[in-house]
Amino acid sequence: MFLPKYPENPTPPAAHTHTPAGPTAPVRRAAPQLSISTGTVAAVLVGGVVLTALLAAVAVTAISVAIAAVVLRSMLREQHRR
């Protein structure tokens, strides 16, 4: 039922008979040219600067919040000791 069906007269594959016509020289292909516009470069640079500034702002905010927490903790600890 699930056995493969083979053709009764199989034909052999055709032989490849390509012969070069004349002296063989390496084929040179043009290198792909990247066309990046100045606007794209400027947009990427501005995006990088903005992301870096945002990261620096988050880091500075985190450090200042941590310092404020340490100061408030020490002030509250002194008040409880009295």
Instruction: Tell me the pLDDT tens digit for each residue of 7-27.
Output: 777 676 667 676 666 666 677
9 in a structural domain: no
Asked whether residue 81 is assigned to any structural domain, the reply reads yes
- Answering whether pTM is above 0.75, one says no
pLDDT given at position 22: 61
Kindly report the three-state secondary structure assignment for every residue of 29-80: CCCCCCCCCHHHHHHHHHHHHHHHHHHHHHHHHHHHHHHHHHHHHHHHHHHH
Q: Which amino acid is at 68?
A: A
Domains identified in the chain, total number: 1
| 12 domain residue, yes or no | no
User: Residue 79 sits in which domain range?
Assistant: 49-82
